[in-house]
Amino acid sequence: MAEETRKIAFICSKGDLDMAYPALVMGWAALGNGIDVTIFFTFWGLDIINKHRQDKLELAPVANTSMKLKMMGLPTGNLGIPNILGILPGMTAFTTWFMKKKIAEVGAPPVGEYLQMLVDGGAKLYACKMSVDMMGLKKEDFVDGVLDIVTASDFMDMTEGAQIIFI
């Protein structure tokens, strides 16, 4: 009679500010709906759980074809931030500041706080062993919610029957 709990697993492989949010938003929604959540952080995605990095994630304007000047309230149609301007010192800081402002406007918390909400809601976080070794990181570099450093094979075992989303 007991219904099997739906399971969902996210693989976070990117460390840009805008790539941290999809798993946070969807993971939080999943927890709110009673779905079991596991998140595996690999490659640059480790920045999301690295306590020295997680609240310093950035968004670069160079080669970003989606970030239009229009977002900043300018009547410039499809014009993006010209790449030649994007290389100027301070431009990454500017676009990061702007994106953080947009995120805050919809009521979403900063990365660290958001991730803690997921941990408090029961999400299980794991770091990828190969990436951790490659980048010379240790368990102490990660936030408290990270349960363990595991191999890709461990991840496959622990996500049997789960829906997997790669970000």
Partner 1 sequence: MATRVIAGKTVQVNDEGFLTNPAEWTKEIAVELAKEEGLAELTPAHWKVIDYCRDAAQKMGGKSPTLRQITTGTGVSTKELFALFPKGPAKKVARIAGLGKPEGCV
Residue 155: half-sphere exposure toward Cβ, Cα within 13 Å: 25
Number of residues that bind partner 1 (CB under 8 A): 18
Whether residue 87 contacts residue 1, with contact meaning beta carbons closer than 8 Å, is answered with no
Structure tokens belonging to residue 109: 């918390």
Q: Is residue 29 at the binding interface for partner 1, with CB under 8 A as the rule? A: yes
Give me Rg for the CA atoms of the chain.
18
Q: How far is the CB of 17 from partner 1 (least distance, A)?
A: 16
Nearer to partner 1, 62 or 143 (CB): 143
What distance separates the 2 farthest-apart alpha carbons in the chain? Answer: 62
Two tokens at 4?
């099997």
Residue 78 touches partner 1, criterion: CB under 8 A: no
Is position 161 an interface residue for partner 1 (rule: CB under 8 A)?
Answer: no
Q: Which two tokens stand for residue 112?
A: 């660290």
Stretch binding partner 1 (CB under 8 A), from 23-31, 41-49, 60-68, 90-98:
23-31
Please state the closest distance from residue 107 (CB atom) to partner 1, in A: 5
DSSP state for residue 3 in the 8-state scheme:
P
And the tokens for 20? 């941290």
* Residue 110 lies near partner 1 (rule: CB under 8 A): no
By CB under 8 A, residue 82 contacts partner 1 = no
Q: What is the binding site for partner 1 (CB under 8 A)?
A: 5, 25, 28-29, 31-35, 106-109, 116-117, 120-122
